[in-house]
Structure formats: structure tokens, C-alpha cells
Structure 1
Amino acid sequence: MSSFRVKGGLKLKGEITPQGAKNEALQILCAVLLTEEKVTINKIPNIRDVNKLIELLADMGVKVEKVGPESYTFQADEVDLNYLDTQDFLKKASALRGSVMILGPLLARFGTGRLSKPGGDKIGRRRLDTHFVGFQKLGAKFEYDSKQEIYKIDGTNLKGTYMLLDEASVTGTANILMAAVMAEGQTTIYNAACEPYLQQLCDMLNRMGAKITGVGSNLLNIEGVEKLNGTEHTLLPDMIEIGSFIGLAAMTKSEITIKNVQVEKLGIIPETFRRMGIKLEIKGDDIYIPSQEHYEIETFIDGSILTIADAIWPGFTPDLLSIVLVTATQAKGTVLVHQKMFESRLFFVDKLIDMGAQIILCDPHRATVIGLDRKYPLRGIRMTSPDIRAGVSLLIAALSAEGTSVIDNIEQIDRGYQYIDQRLNALGADIVRID
């Protein structure tokens, strides 16, 4: 297990470029299974979850070649379906939640799929019903072996149909979409997720020869095709990293420019941080955050306490609520953070309270943060990262705190943020990786 030793209280300054989007990468990488032709993907982040998925694809027989610092080619012309029945496959797939999205492409192209119960962050119940109900509506036969915790699906002769998803799941929509692009006839998916990452997947599939309309809305229409071709695709910058850097700049009184963010794809993220009192300027395709001694949280028009809650796109992404929460601890004012989607994601606040933050955990989904307006700085402590987003939130807290902090279990941070210690040290941070 590795740790970060973090010296707090330093102001950072400079430019930083966000990595390619982790959540998009997991979908796009699975889509290479839909064609026997070569697919080139650019701006792939060098992070644990993505690297594990690339390794899994290679073990399945996909030819993988690194052709640049952040670029790979994939060719799935010799996929070994027998590998799906091995314990090695089940073990590796279960260690990565994103592996569930190989099922849609496998069903579309080969008519079969296997998957053990996926892992991932321990942030609460994350059910897979949406994926499997969607497959069933396309005609797949679903079987679950409860003893071995293995999902088996027979997807021969998939046929297009109408479906109304029970939730606008991003991974569920992506998985069903990839199964439907080669199903016979027309598929309509209502209450589909419409995040920029899902739009990117639709655009990529259309370039490969798919026939998808309604991209960017919650109503997708897919006309099945017999075959898909190769393509080249570039991932979006990671919006979660961008939001993390905005919060980091405010907490540490730093002057930071975030480069090449594709502002039009960020939705209400910049405006939400502005409501936290953070000054930021859009300069072309960059976001500039000046050094700020103080930032004050807005109230609602009637004077009541501001509530920031997650919602399906174009609402605020749940992955940034942890960043909002930690950033609020040194603001002036009070905010209620409402995490609707996951019931365990706010449990890291006990570490912030130990550091001196004023937070009331109302229940597993809501926390009230009373901003200290920097009158009482956070203090360095030893703590453990419970998941990717909480881990970076604790790192931001440690960078702003007085004294030195140690963050254990940073493998969780490495799952979602590439070279985060090196990149922040280049701005003036003092983060030491301890193995």
C-alpha cells in the first residue's frame, strides 16, 4: 500500500492540462470489440482502471499497440471467446466495475457474454439491473449463478425494440446502445443518459457505420446494421479533474490556469463553482482561477441556505460533490450538499471533521458544511482514501491545511488521476509518494 505525505499551506501557480476523461475511456475502450478493424484512440489517461481494462482486452485476444504517449490502436479480429470461461477472466473482470460494458459489444458481435460481479468504489449500492433488463428486452437470455457470482448471457439473434429505462444510467445506456447497434431492426431507448461522454460514444459509433439519432437527448433511436468499421477517436478532457482543479485553486489561494477544457462540454460545472464564490474566467478554451483570499457561498434568492445536489445530465455530476464539500469548508457561508445517488459517498467527512472542518452529516445522503472563512485553517492529520473522488478531496484538504498530512491507500486516487502528485508538484505543491 502506498501513501502521500503532503505539506500543506503552499500556494500553487501555473498551468495544468486535464487528462483524458476516465469515464469516457471505459466506454470507448469496450466499443473496440464491435469491429474486426483497427480503432485508434487518443488522449487515453494512464490510470489504473483504464490500464486494467486495456490489459483485459489484450487477454481476450485484442491486438493492442501503443502508438504515442496517450494513443493506442486496438484490433479485435481474433477475440478468444473461450477465455471468457476461465477463472483468470472472471477474476480480472471482477476487479474493475467498467468491465461490465464489454457485455454489450460481446452480445452484439458474438451473441454471448460472461461477467463476474464487478468491483469498483465502495460508495454504496450500484446495481446492474438497468443493463440486464435492457439486454433482455433486446431478446437476450439472462442467467445468474449465485454461487460463483457469474452473469451469463445468450445474445444470439438480438432484435430491436422500444424500451423505457428505469434510470438514466450512463453505463447502462452505453452498454445497451452498444448491444443495439447491430441488433436486427430499430431500437428506441427512452430516458437514456445524455452526458457528453455518452454523446462521444454515439459520435464514435456513427463514424464506425452505426445509425444513431437523437444524440444529446434522452431519446435515442438506433437502426441496427450488420457490420461496423474502424475509426479514430479522441477523448474529452476529464470534467471531474477540471472541477477538482477549480476547488484546489480556491482552497489553496492559488492562481491556476486549466488548459484546453472544452468549455462547451462542461455544462453547469463552472457556474456551480461560481455559486460557491469562486472567481473564474473563461479565456478561449481555458479556465483561469485567480488567487483568492476569500470566497463567499451564495444563498438562494429568498435568503435560504444554498443546496448543491447531483442530478442526471445536464444537472451537476455526482462525482464532483466531494470536491464541492471540501471546498466549502474554507468558504464564507453555509451549503447543504445532497448526494442523491450513492448512500456511502459522504462518509469520508469524518476525516475532514478531524482536520477541523465544521460539517454536520445529516444522513448518508446529506451534509451541511459551515464555512470557516479561513479563520480556522484545517490541520494536517493521517487519513485513508476510501474511494477515488473522496481521495482527491482529502488531498485538496491536505494541501490547504496547516502542517503535514499523510494519506494512505492512494491506489484509489491512482485509479482515476494520472501522475497527480507529479503534476501538482510542478505547480509548487509538496507531495511525496511513499511506497
Structure 2
Amino acid sequence: MASFKIEGGHKLHGSITPQGAKNEALQVICAVLLTSEKVIINNVPDIIDVNKLIFILGELGVKIEKLASNSYSFQADEINIDYLESEDFKRDGSSLRGSIMIVGPLLARFGKGYIPRPGGDKIGRRRLDTHFEGFIRLGAKFRYNREEHFYGVEADQLHGTDMLLDEASVTGTANIVMAAVLAKGTTTIYNAACEPYIQQLSKMLNSMGAKITGVGSNLLKIEGVDKLGGCEHTILPDMIEIGSWIGMAAMTKSELTIKNVSWKDLGQIPNVFRKLGIQLEKKGDDIFIPAQESYEIQNYIDGSVLTVADAPWPGFTPDLLSIVLVVATQAKGTVLIHQKMFESRLFFVDKLIDMGAKVILCDPHRATVIGHDFESQLKATKMTSPDIRAGISLLIAALSATGTSIINNIEQIDRGYENIEARLKSIGAKIERIED
């Protein structure tokens, strides 16, 4: 178990380039299973969760070649389906929630897909019903081994159908789309997620020969095809990491440039940070954040307290609420954070309270933050990272705090952020990785 030692109170400076999007990478890497031809994927983030998925594909028999530091070729022309029923897969698959997305492509191409109950962040219930209900609607038979927590779907041939998803699940939509592209006939998916990740997956599949229309909307139409071919695909910059850097610049009163952010794919993210009083400018495809001695939260036009809540795209992403909460601790004013999706994601606020933040946890989904306006600095402390996003939020808090903080369980941060300490050092952060 490694830890970070962080000396807070130092300003950052310079520019930083975001990594490839983790959530997109997990989807498009699973999509290589849909064809026997070679697929090249660029801007793949070098993080634990993505590397685990690549390892699982290798164990499945996918031929993997690392072309450059963040580029890979994949060729799934000799798949070992028996691996899915092995003890090794039950162990490997259960450690990564993203492994659920191999089921759709395997079901479509090989007629069966299995998965152990996947792991991931401990941020509340994350059910899989949407995935499997979609597969069943396409004609698959579902089975579940309660003793081993092992899920399976099988079908000789999938058939297109109309479906209304019970929730706009991003991974559920991705999984069903990947299954439907090789189904016989036409599938329509209403209440589909329409995040940039899903748009990117759909564009990649279309470049492989799929026929998907409605991309970017919540109504997708998929005409099944007999087979898909190879392609080359480049992953978008990670919007969650971009939001993390914005928050980091504000909390440390730093001037920072975030390079090549793909502005058109950021949705509400710049607007929400501006509502917190953070200045940011569009310079080409970069974000420039000037150094600010303070930032003031906007109230609503009637004077009532601002609420920042998550919502399906194009609403605000839930993955950035933890960062918004931390940034608000040093703002001027008050904000209500409403985390609708996950009932355990706000439980890290006790660590911020220990550091001197004024946060009232109203219930598992809501927290009120009364900002210090930098009149009272956060105090350094020793803490443990409970999940990826809380981990980076605590790291941001530590960078702004007075004194030296220790963050344990930083494997959680490594799951989602590539080479984080070296990149932070490059812009002036005082951070050190300590191996136990």
C-alpha cells in the first residue's frame, strides 16, 4: 500500500495536458472483441483500471501490441471463450467494474458472455439490471449463480427490438449498443445515455461498419450488420481530469493552462466552475485559469443558495461533484451539493471537516458547504482515499492546506489518474510517493 506525502500551500504554474478519458477507454477497448480484424486505439490512459482490462483481454486471447506510450493495437481473431468460465477470470473480472462491458460484444459475436459480480468504487449500489434487461430484450437467456455471484447470457442469434431503458446508464447503453450492432434486424434504444463516451463509441463502431444513427441524442437506432472490420480510434481527453485541474488551480490560487481539452465535449463543466466564481478562459482548445486570490459563489437570481447537482448528460457529471465540494470549501458563499446517483460518495466529507472545512452532511445525498473565502486555511492531516474521485478531491485539499498531509490507499487515485505525482511536480506541487 503506497501513500502520498503532500506539502501544501504552494502555488502551481505552467501547463498540463489531460490524459485520455478513462470511461471512454473502458468502452472502446471492449469493442475490439466485435471483430477479428486489427483495431488501433490512441490516447489510451496508463492507469490501473484500463491496464486491468487490457490484461483481461490478453487472457481472453486478444493479440495486443503496444505501439507507443499510449497507443495499442488489438486483434481478437483467436478468442479463448473457455477463459470466461475459469477461476482466473472469476478473480480478474471481479476486481474491475468496467469488465461488465465485455459481455455485450462477446454475446453478439460468440453467442455467450459471462461476468463475475464486478468490483470498483465503494460509492453505493451500482446495479447491473439495465445491462441484462437489454440483453434479454435482444433475445438472450439470462442465468445467475448466487453462490459464486456469476452472471451469464447466451443466445444463438440476437434479434433487434425496441427498448426503453429504465435508466440512462452509460455502461448499460454501451453494452447494449455493442450487442445490438451484430443483431439481426433493427434496434431502437430510448432513454439511452448520450455522454461523449457513448458518442465516441458509436462513432468508432460506425467506422468499423456498424449502422448507428441518433448519435448524441437519447434515441439510438441500430441496424444490425453481419460483421465489423478494423479501424483506428483516438480517445478524447478526460473531462473529469480537466475538472480536477480547474479545481486544483482555484484552490491553490494558481495560474494554469490546461491543453487540448476538446471544449465542445465539456458540456456544463465550465459553466459550473464559473458559478463557483472561478475565472476560466477559452484560448483555442485550451483552458486558461488566471491566479485568483478569491472566488465567490453565485446565488440564484432570487438570492437563494446555489445547488450543484448531477444529472444525465448533458447535465453535470456526478464524477466531478466531489471536486466541486472541495473547491467550495474555500469559496466566498454557500452552496448545496446534491449527489443524486450514489448514496455513499459524499461520505469523505468527514476528512474535510477534520481539516477545518465547514461542511454539513445533510443526508447521504446532500451536503451544504459554507466557504472560508481563504480567511481560514485548511489544516494538513492524515487521511485515506475511499474512491477515485474522493481521492483526487482530498489531494486537492492537501495541496491547498497548511502543513504536510499524508493520503493512504492511493491505489484508488492510480486507478483513474495517470502518473499523477510526476505531472503535479511538473507544475510545482510538492508531492512524494511513499511505498510501504
Spell out the pairing of 1:336-355 with structure 2 (5 A cutoff): 336-355=336-355
Write the deviation string for residues 273-307 of structure 1: whole angstroms up to 9, x where unpaired: 00000000000000000000000000000000000
8 A Cα contact 1:169 1:193, kept in partner: yes
8 A Cα contact 1:143 1:152, kept in partner: yes
Q: CA deviation at 1:378?
A: 0.1
Measure the CA separation in 2 of the matches of 1:371 and 1:140: 52
SS at match of 1:131: helix
Measure the CA separation in 2 of the matches of 1:215 and 1:240: 22
8 A Cα contact 1:38 1:73, kept in partner: yes
Measure the CA separation in 1 of the matches of 2:164 and 2:352: 41
Amino acid at match of 2:34: L
Write the deviation string for residues 72-116 of structure 1: whole angstroms up to 9, x where unpaired: 000000000111110001110000000000000000100001110
Spell out the pairing of 1:336-375 with structure 2 (5 A cutoff): 336-375=336-375
Question: 1:100 aligns to what?
Answer: 100
Count residues in correspondence. 435
Q: CA deviation at 1:155?
A: 2.3
Spell out the pairing of 1:416-435 with structure 2 (5 A cutoff): 416-435=416-435
SS at match of 1:372: coil
Question: 1:310 aligns to what?
Answer: 310
Spell out the pairing of 1:82-121 with structure 2 (5 A cutoff): 82-121=82-121
Amino acid at match of 1:235: I
TM-score, normalised on structure 1?
Answer: 1.00
Q: CA deviation at 1:152?
A: 1.4
8 A Cα contact 1:161 1:188, kept in partner: yes
SS at match of 2:36: coil
Q: Which runs of 5+ in 2 are unaligned?
A: none
Q: Runs of 4+ in structure 1 displaced over 2 angstroms?
A: none
Q: Which runs of 5+ in 1 are unaligned?
A: none
Spell out the pairing of 1:277-296 with structure 2 (5 A cutoff): 277-296=277-296
Indicate whether 1:21 and 2:46 are aligned. Answer: no
Measure the CA separation in 1 of the matches of 2:267 and 2:258: 16
Q: CA deviation at 1:141?
A: 0.2
TM-score, normalised on structure 2?
Answer: 1.00
Measure the CA separation in 2 of the matches of 1:155 and 1:233: 29
8 A Cα contact 1:107 1:156, kept in partner: no
Spell out the pairing of 1:28-427 with structure 2 (5 A cutoff): 28-427=28-427
Measure the CA separation in 1 of the matches of 2:206 and 2:104: 16
Measure the CA separation in 1 of the matches of 2:150 and 2:89: 11
Measure the CA separation in 1 of the matches of 2:156 and 2:168: 26
Measure the CA separation in 2 of the matches of 1:63 and 1:34: 14
8 A Cα contact 1:140 1:158, kept in partner: yes
* Superposed CA RMSD: 0.4
Measure the CA separation in 2 of the matches of 1:331 and 1:153: 50
SS at match of 1:298: coil
Write the deviation string for residues 329-380 of structure 1: whole angstroms up to 9, x where unpaired: 0000000000000000000000000000000000000000000000110000
The percent of aligned pairs where both chains have the same amino acid is 71
Amino acid at match of 2:409: N
8 A Cα contact 1:186 1:222, kept in partner: yes
SS at match of 2:371: strand
